[in-house]
Amino acid sequence: MSDPREIRIGDAERNQALQVLGEHMSAGRIDVTEYGDRSAKIATAKTRGEVLALFTDLPDPRPQFVQHTPMVQPVGRAPARKWEGMVIPAVGVIVIIVFFVALRNPLIFLAIPAVALLWGQWNGRRR
């Protein structure tokens, strides 16, 4: 993305822009009506450019946007596999089926935390 003004914003950026706009109203640079109009536009803004356009006629302070870095995989960690999050729930379902179909022994439910502990240990060593 070549133009940083086209980067989408979130609630934290909108809240910070509203705070800065409130400072301008407190300083008497804009009145309550204009504050209401601009704050409504900030609340619906999608990009940095839409927010910054509301401050072009105002001096500092202006909203400051953090520089976002692309998400990268941490060095030394194996990439997550989609099925890994399903192991413990699958064990739970299997244990329930075995309990009702075959064993009828409530001790079978101890297999769930046992597998969870072993699974956590195995994943911790693998990474």
Write the pLDDT tens digit of every residue in 13-27. Answer: 999 999 999 999 999
Residue 28 maps to a domain? yes
Residue 74 maps to a domain? no
Residue 112 maps to a domain? yes
Residue 64 maps to a domain? no
- Domain residues for 20? 4-55
Q: At residue 82, does pLDDT exceed 80?
A: no
Residue 20 maps to a domain? yes
Report the number of distinct structural domains present in the chain: 2
Q: 49 and 8 in one domain? A: yes
Selected residue with higher pLDDT from 30 and 76: 30
pLDDT at residue 9, rounded to an integer = 92
Nearest residue to 35 via CA among 23, 52, 48, 47: 23
Residue 70 maps to a domain? no
Contact residues for 5 (Cβ-Cβ < 8 A; gap 6+): 47, 48, 49, 52
Q: 87 and 48 in one domain? A: no
Residue 66 maps to a domain? no
Quick one: pLDDT band at residue 84, thresholds 50, 70, 90? low
Selected residue with higher pLDDT from 35 and 113: 35
Q: 87 and 46 in one domain? A: no
